[in-house]
Chains A and B, each alone.
Chain A
């Protein structure tokens, strides 16, 4: 098989600069909303003492989870030896790093004291999964950075397998750590479950690949490079498997909770009585985010259509955001069960569903995270050789079957 040739994109067209300008303006909006939030304090946001993590965290956790999933394509080629994916491996590492950078930016900018980030880097409580996550995130940058380097520089290509294996193991630890942020919390009915960690791992597969697929399709369409059906089919079928995987974990989690009377309260809240959370769960996460994409991907009429698959990928991303909203905000909104069998009321909103209305500042901060990631990718493919010149069928897999 001919070695894939990588080439920078031209990046000269007006459309390209407009894309960068558009993304740049969202980044600026995010920075502006951060200053607005930090200057006066969090009272300008919709977050309060009942819902302490809001829309910024929905975006941040989504991006961080997707980041580890975006590395999948590279892992499949280096670790599992599927050479067909090798041409896309460098781009996969790039998207992974960019998404993590965007997600962390949102997370850090939402801190009550972001000026104390250096404190977070130097004072560690090793019993905290949050502290472990900081080590995992920083390690991800280093390890995936090295992995990327072994693939871009020809004379160290031989180390890419070891680097790829290390990156694969590291990202599994990272996503397990991210899921455990919620899984380790004994206090809340919606969390405190071992399934959180593996569920987040499978979610990362799904969200990461959806974003990656959209980036590949867009890059090749806009630079008029060929993207053959063979590669396209592999990616979209893989996405289908991952979306189904997430649906399986969601079903397993809720069925288990529904079996235990202890959890009926929170299940009724999420599945039936939770207002916005129930709507986001059924319409956003299940129908829009799982069932419709599965139908599009596997139905013969739509399965081969590029535009239909793009829409499916967008739905997966929207459904993923809805899922994060339900987990993070819905999980906090459900009141703490301090006195089982009794009704509680107090001046501190005990016993009532927490109220949360997201504000524009929070939304801009979150969207800005996406914008930072996409800006980094768009810029990097212009300055470095991340994109293969051709992903036509002959280039990808000469022995492909139609």
Chain B
């Protein structure tokens, strides 16, 4: 039976209605899709935001004892230490005075004899003792969880170095020159790993993470702990991750597996 005039009109209205609804719905969702993509990319003008918390997950079972790729990458990126035989920028300081932002630590269980290796750097604690004790507020935590030293107001008292449970901080014992533009460092101030904030702000991985993945070890994972869909959050949910000195209750941003 062919549609009557009034049925045709209703169909037309229905089509129009459905079409318009689809258009409106599309318009409503589209910004959400577009914005969601924009939210992941940080422009130069954006501030670090508390919506993110940057963290790292280190799988010690993938970390080889003799490998120092992460350390070398950090040295090259930030301009400290001796790389490929070229002397450290700190020529006058002895080995106990020279800065180390990250180091490989070998741990041997006294009971079982089990040996493990892992990289140790600033743990970027949520309640960092170094931030608490700094008299001027130079030792600070960014909104996105990165802990660093504001060397503009650091007076070089070294109290943060006393306070750090991981001995992550170093003091500069001599005049430096020709520092990397992205890693200013100078005499009489304290410094430590800043999770390559200058790279993170450009949506890149920290140098250590980059080097470890380039060499195909993939022992270090970097990402946004507050984003449930990030690789690091999913990995943490699936296999867990421990803090070093968890009893201190500092809620570190750097977690380890296989300890």
> CA A50 – CA B44 in complex, angstroms?
38
Q: Does B105 reach chain A (CB closer than 8 Å)?
A: yes
> CA A309 – CA B173 in complex, angstroms?
43
Within 8 Å by CB of A346, from B104, B108, B174, lies B104
Contact B120 A346 (CB under 8 A): yes
> CA A345 – CA B117 in complex, angstroms?
10
Contact A111 B156 (CB under 8 A): yes
What chain A residues lie within 8 Å of B216 (beta carbons)? Answer: none
Contact A128 B161 (CB under 8 A): no
Q: Which residue of A lies closest to B81 (CB)?
A: A347
Q: Does B228 reach chain A (CB closer than 8 Å)?
A: no
Q: Does A155 reach chain B (CB closer than 8 Å)?
A: no
What chain B residues lie within 8 Å of A342 (beta carbons)? Answer: 107-110
Q: A53-B162, A342-B108, A344-B106 are in contact. Are A350 and B167 (CB under 8 A)?
A: yes
Interface size on B, as a range, is: 35 or more
Q: A49-B96, A113-B155, A120-B155 are in contact. Are A127 and B188 (CB under 8 A)?
A: no
Q: Does A269 reach chain B (CB closer than 8 Å)?
A: no
Contact B103 A346 (CB under 8 A): yes
A43, A48, A185 — most chain B CB neighbours (10 Å): A43
Segment at the interface with B among A142-150, A332-340, A377-385: A332-340
Q: Which residue of B lies closest to A191 (CB)?
A: B162
Contact B173 A111 (CB under 8 A): no
Contact B107 A339 (CB under 8 A): yes
Segment at the interface with B among A75-83, A129-137, A228-236: A129-137
Within 8 Å by CB of A41, from B92, B99, B161, B165, lies B92
Q: Does A248 reach chain B (CB closer than 8 Å)?
A: no
Within 8 Å by CB of B135, from A45, A134, A354, A355, lies A134
Contact A338 B173 (CB under 8 A): no
Within 8 Å by CB of B155, from A43, A49, A117, lies A117
> CA A119 – CA B136 in complex, angstroms?
7
Task: Provide the B121-162 mask, 1 if CB < 8 A to any CB of A, else 0.
Answer: 000000001001111111000000000000001111111011
What chain B residues lie within 8 Å of A123 (beta carbons)? Answer: 136-138, 153
The A-contacting residues of B in range 67-126, CB under 8 angstroms, are 90, 92-94, 96-100, 103-111, 120
Q: Does B183 reach chain A (CB closer than 8 Å)?
A: no
The B-contacting residues of A in range 38-60, CB under 8 angstroms, are 38, 40-43, 45, 47-50, 52-53
Distance (Å) between the CB of A122 and the closest chain B CB? 9
Contact B104 A187 (CB under 8 A): no
Q: A120-B135, A343-B110 are in contact. Are A186 and B158 (CB under 8 A)?
A: no
Task: Provide the A112-125 mask, 1 if CB < 8 A to any CB of B, else 0.
Answer: 11101101100111
Q: Does B248 reach chain A (CB closer than 8 Å)?
A: yes
Contact A343 B108 (CB under 8 A): yes
Q: A112-B190, A113-B156, A187-B163 are in contact. Are A341 and B106 (CB under 8 A)?
A: no
Q: A119-B136, A125-B135 are in contact. Are A40 and B174 (CB under 8 A)?
A: yes
Distance (Å) between the CB of A11 and the closest chain B CB? 38
Q: A40-B92, A49-B99, A120-B136 are in contact. Are A341 and B110 (CB under 8 A)?
A: yes
Q: Does A298 reach chain B (CB closer than 8 Å)?
A: no
Contact A43 B158 (CB under 8 A): no
Contact B104 A338 (CB under 8 A): no
Task: Provide the A212-223 mask, 1 if CB < 8 A to any CB of B, else 0.
Answer: 000000000000
Distance (Å) between the CB of A351 and the closest chain B CB? 8
Q: Does B17 reach chain A (CB closer than 8 Å)?
A: no
Q: Does A348 reach chain B (CB closer than 8 Å)?
A: yes
Contact A41 B103 (CB under 8 A): no
11 A-B residue pairings within 8 Å (CB atoms): A42-B173, A43-B94, A49-B96, A112-B156, A113-B188, A123-B136, A125-B134, A134-B135, A185-B133, A345-B106, A346-B106
Chain A positions within 8 Å of B, measured between CB atoms, are 38, 40-43, 45, 47-50, 52-53, 111-114, 116-117, 119-120, 123-125, 127-131, 134, 181, 184-188, 332, 336, 338-339, 341-350, 354-355
Supply 19 further A-B pairs (C-beta < 8 A) apart from A43-B90, A123-B136, A347-B103.
A42-B171, A48-B173, A49-B167, A53-B158, A112-B157, A112-B187, A113-B154, A113-B156, A119-B153, A119-B155, A131-B136, A184-B133, A185-B133, A186-B163, A343-B107, A347-B104, A348-B100, A348-B103, A349-B96
List 8 A-B pairs, minimum CB-CB distance, nearest first: A112-B156, A112-B188, A48-B96, A41-B174, A187-B165, A43-B173, A125-B137, A130-B135
